[in-house]
Amino acid sequence: MSWESVYRLVKRIPRGKVTTYGELARKLALPGGARAVGYAMAATPTGRGIPWHRVMGAGGKVRMPEPYASLQRKLLASEGVGIESGSVDMDRFGWSPSKRGARAPARKKNNRGRK
DNA sequence: CATCTGACGACCG
DNA sequence: GCGGTCGCCAGAT
């Protein structure tokens, strides 16, 4: 059950969005157990359809050793997630478990004639 | 059963 | 804003 739950949530993350270890931990009723979540992710077998790269640290910052960090940035950027100085804008790409689109993008693209 | 570690988070200087 | 410390949980030895 343990890590399976984590994987499940991670798999739920929609493309182009990211979440944090803390959020996952909280959703799993493990406040402060973000480390456990991170540990689980570290053991996450690649090639299982688990978008581990969509899991960021607090504040949307990259929390992992190379070369994973670089790979993550690359994958995220490939999904349209803008990264600034190694950090992701959680206000726009932050995704909350079970709270689908809680932080929906502000959609501030071209005004299409009106603001 | 005791101890250390780890892809974390919050706090303090 | 950055770096160091403590606290948290689960797994491995």
pLDDT value of position A41: 93
* d(CA A49, C1' B13) / Å: 43
Q: Are A39 and A22 in contact (CB under 8 A)?
A: no
A44 CB less than 7 Å from any atom of strand C: no
Query: A68: burial class by Cβ within 10 Å (0-12, 13-18, 19+)?
Result: middle
Using the 8-state DSSP alphabet, how is residue A97 labeled?
T
- State the average pLDDT for chain A: 85
Question: Three-state SS for A19?
Answer: strand
* d(CA A102, C1' C3) / Å: 33
A82: left (phi over 0), alpha (psi -120 to 50) or beta: beta
Nucleotide nearest to A63 (CA to C1'): B7
Instruction: Please give the model's pTM, rounded to 2 decimal places.
Output: 0.84
Residue A24 has pLDDT above 80, yes or no: yes
- pLDDT tens, residue by residue, A71-99: 999 999 999 999 988 899 998 899 988 75
